């Protein structure tokens, strides 16, 4: 019986010694894990609010005889430096006009856009440039009136115009029903201060 007690005591002593030897390694591993988690937190993407405007409707060409299907999509963020109405900074977007077999694709040129929404959100105005695949630039102006609020966002009736430079190129009158809503977008940022 004494031998069993001695064996149990020796096993306990060995287990305790092994624990003492392993504990610093475990602590270092935990510190490494914590540092890794902190690095990942600093580098992880974070969500930022972005406003999406998506409109479907028609475009009437120069001749005024035919209505072409059209779609517009704009992604913008609120400009916090705005003092009066709510200004937005356009990040990207596009305007598409189906003309028979051909679909005219016009990409938004972000740094040329100015968007203002009245504080009560009843009306907005937007103007800027778009460009086609040949890098020809066109002026676009839009104005919208709030029709109502839906579960998907604010519904606007939008009138506008697309003009080629100096009257050259495509010219269309634009009409859309547009839904405008806020969405959270992932923005990848390397460092958060």
User: Has residue 142 got a pLDDT over 90?
Assistant: yes
Stronger pLDDT, 121 or 81, i.e. the higher one: 121
Q: Given pLDDT bands bounded at 50, 70 and 90, which one contains residue 145?
A: very high
What average pLDDT does this structure show over 133-141? 91
Say whether pLDDT at 172 is over 80.
yes
- Kindly list the domain boundaries of the chain, sorted by start residue: 1-44, 47-186
Query: Is residue 35 over pLDDT 80?
Result: no
Q: What is the pLDDT of residue 26?
A: 55
Predicted pLDDT at 183: 78
Residue 191 has pLDDT above 50, yes or no: no
Question: Among 11, 58, 73, 89, which residue's Cα sits nearest to residue 176?
Answer: 58
Pick the CATH number of 47-186 from 2.40.160.30, 2.102.10.10, 3.40.50.1970, 2.40.100.10: 2.40.160.30
Whole-number percent of the chain with pLDDT over 90? 33
127 CB-side CA count, 13 A:
4
Mean pLDDT for the chain overall: 78
How does residue 192 score in pLDDT terms, banded at 50, 70 and 90?
very low
């Amino acid at each position: 019986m004494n031998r069993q007690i001695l064996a149990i005591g020796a096993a306990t002593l060995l287990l305790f010694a092994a624990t003492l030897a392993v504990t610093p390694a475990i602590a270092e591993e935990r510190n490494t894990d914590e540092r890794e988690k902190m690095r990942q937190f600093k580098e992880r993407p974070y969500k930022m609010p972005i406003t999406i405007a998506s409109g479907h409707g028609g475009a009437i060409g120069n001749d005024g005889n035919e209505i072409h299907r059209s779609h517009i999509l704009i992604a913008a963020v609120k400009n916090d430096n705005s003092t009066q109405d709510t200004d937005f900074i356009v990040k990207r977007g596009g305007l598409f006009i189906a003309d028979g077999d051909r679909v005219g694709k016009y990409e938004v040129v972000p740094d040329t856009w100015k968007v203002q929404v009245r504080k009560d959100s009843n009306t907005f105005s937007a103007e800027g440039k778009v460009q086609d695949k040949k890098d020809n630039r066109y002026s676009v102006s839009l104005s919208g009136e709030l029709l109502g609020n839906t579960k998907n966002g604010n519904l606007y009736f939008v009138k506008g115009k697309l003009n080629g430079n100096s009257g050259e190129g495509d010219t269309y009158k634009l009409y859309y029903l547009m839904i405008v809503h806020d969405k959270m977008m992932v923005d990848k940022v390397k460092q958060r201060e």
